[in-house]
Amino acid sequence: MAHFLGLDASTQSLTAVLIDTDDGSIIHVCSVNFGKDLPSFGLPHGYDDSRGGGVVFSNPLMWLDALDLVLQRMVDDGVDLSSVRGVSGSGQQHGSVYLTSEFRQRVGDLQPSKSLSAQLADCLSRDEAPIWMDNSTSQECAEITATLGGSQEVCRRSGSVATERFTGPQIRKFAKESPAQYAATDRIHLVSSFFASILAGSDVAIDRGDGAGMNLMNLSRGEWDDELVATTADGLSGKLPDVKESSAVSGSISTYFVEKYGFSSDCATVLWSGDNPCSLVGMGAAQPGSLVISLGTSDTVFASMPEAKFDPQGFGHAFGNPMGGFMSLTCFKNGSLAREAVKDRFELDWSAFDAESLSETAMGNGGLMMLPFFEPEITPRMDTGGIVFNRDGDHSPAQWVRAVLEGQFLNMRLHSQWLGIAPQRIRLTGGASRNNGIAQVIANVFAVPVDRLVTTESAGLGAAIRAASACGESLDVLESVFCKVDEAFTVMPESGAAEVYDALLSSFSEFLVSKK
């Protein structure tokens, strides 16, 4: 048997995807929801934003408990983990974990009689982990930009302008506000490399795919950029792990997992990457030619690029493709939470977003448009969240539903034009991807067919495929077997959609500019 395990540590859950490359099947999927399954941490959505000022963080100990719990659930479900030849994972991008010098020794001496969190709690130099939703570092971004000589120079080096949610500005803020804790920090990991270190039982590298989302790595060289690192914080170079190729094998899995959950001592651990780079792989889009839209807590649009290309407006980003080369990504903070806000406002259920319910309103919503920024947005940068329509009046729930969807995907189409490509098809993934009404709006706004894969767990699947590839399996074969389009769920654009939304895009752009 050739079994490979992919783990996806997202904003709200930890999901395990186990694949069998011999028969080309996904043989088990298991998930832990942070809020539902670990209520003692008091984080119903997996994060805490109660502090205000754009500060959003999570708890690394919750993540460790989730890892123990998801593996125990797999064992309870009868999964024989001794058959797993390799394991890798995907972590929510930009989140960071701060550790003392005790971590490097302690992680190599984990005892199966105790939980991960109990053994590693006192290795945290900072008991909270800022995550991608945190936008409290505007001042630090400005300081980094000014020192390096402008946004274009930061972008040329790192693939992105200095960005509030990125790890470098977050580190700079921590070093300024908590100098004693920063001094006590021996190692700073990403979410991805933190989990990878736990599995390997050693302090492992950051992969180039996720490392590109830090404003610290030189994108063209795939190494830490000395000037970016020095500008960010004093002494930072000694606190960062090495950077390596995403396919690097860290070694065999820690004896903790062998003795506690039955993994084979020969099971290889492969560097983790970010959730978006792993989704690129899991969607069969690691090679140029496909545009992917992921619908989640945030919505993202991404694609593989043979060469790095930069967004002149600074909203899009160039990251490392975990299978080689580069990828583009543009993130929209108001994703599922905006859709949920409309649903909850009118006490609707998700059937209100189905194609049948959307048929109550016409394409284009009679010219009614919404800026769907219920929280401060990052693409484009809108500091004040709130409901904004282009026309006053009492709008019906059906009009609200269509307005939030059309606003989200017109904004996405507008801010993906920097890629310079006209997609022939779109691959859709994420929690809302199976909703036919949402898929239909996307097909109409972009005026191209929308394909969906058999599985919606693209990040976890991508991690499993990466593990298999690093252990010698052919990427082309893995993509052809596991990344098949579910033709029964392909959605075609409706007649006349191109004309409606080509005209509406211009109006939406003007509406957006008028409210900045």
- Residue 445 confidence (pLDDT) above 90: yes
Q: What is the pLDDT of residues 497-511, one digit of tens each?
A: 999 999 999 999 999
Task: Please state, in angstroms and rounded to a whole number, the distance separating the CA atoms of residues 198 and 195.
Answer: 5
- What is the average per-residue pLDDT within 482-511? 94
- Write the CB contacts of 111 (distance below 8 Å, at least 6 apart in sequence): 119, 256
Q: What is the pLDDT of residues 378-414, one digit of tens each?
A: 899 887 667 899 999 999 999 999 999 999 999 999 9
Write down the pLDDT at residue 378. Answer: 87
- Residue 420 confidence (pLDDT) above 90: no
Q: What is the pLDDT of residues 14-32, one digit of tens each?
A: 999 999 999 999 999 999 9
Mean pLDDT for all residues in the chain: 94
Helices (H) and strands (E) in the chain, counts: 20, 25
- Residue 487 confidence (pLDDT) above 90: no
Q: What is the pLDDT of residues 162-178, one digit of tens each?
A: 999 999 999 999 999 99
Pair type for strands 249-252 and 243-244: unpaired
Per-residue pLDDT band at 419 (split at 50, 70, 90): confident
**Measured in whole angstroms, how far is the alpha carbon of residue 367 from the centre of its chain?**
33
Half-sphere exposure for 193 (CA within 13 Å, toward CB): 30
Task: Please state, in angstroms and rounded to a whole number, the distance separating the CA atoms of residues 103 and 98.
Answer: 10
Task: Please state, in angstroms and rounded to a whole number, the distance separating the CA atoms of residues 317 and 320.
Answer: 10
| DSSP state string for 75-117 | HHTT--GGGEEEEEEEE-TT-EEEE-THHHHHTTS--TTS-HH
Write down the pLDDT at residue 376. Answer: 86
Q: How many residues does the chain have?
A: 516
Write down the pLDDT at residue 113. Answer: 97
- Residue 156 confidence (pLDDT) above 90: yes
Domain edges within the chain: 3-277, 284-452+486-516
- Residue 512 confidence (pLDDT) above 90: yes
Task: Please state, in angstroms and rounded to a whole number, the distance separating the CA atoms of residues 311 and 380.
Answer: 12
Return the minimum-mean-pLDDT range out of 201-205, 240-244, 347-351, 455-459: 455-459
Write down the pLDDT at residue 385. Answer: 66
Write down the pLDDT at residue 386. Answer: 75
| Of 64 and 337, the one with more pLDDT | 64
Write down the pLDDT at residue 219. Answer: 94
Task: Please state, in angstroms and rounded to a whole number, the distance separating the CA atoms of residues 348 and 294.
Answer: 23
Going from the C-alpha of 341 to that of each of 182, 413, 464, 490, the distances in angstroms are 38, 22, 34, 27
Going from the C-alpha of 487 to that of each of 303, 425, 449, 484, the distances in angstroms are 21, 13, 11, 9
- Residue 45 confidence (pLDDT) above 80: yes
CATH class of this structure's domain 3-277: alpha beta
- Residue 261 confidence (pLDDT) above 80: yes
Write down the pLDDT at residue 1. Answer: 66
Write down the pLDDT at residue 139. Answer: 98
CATH architecture observed for domain 284-452+486-516: 2-Layer Sandwich (3.30)
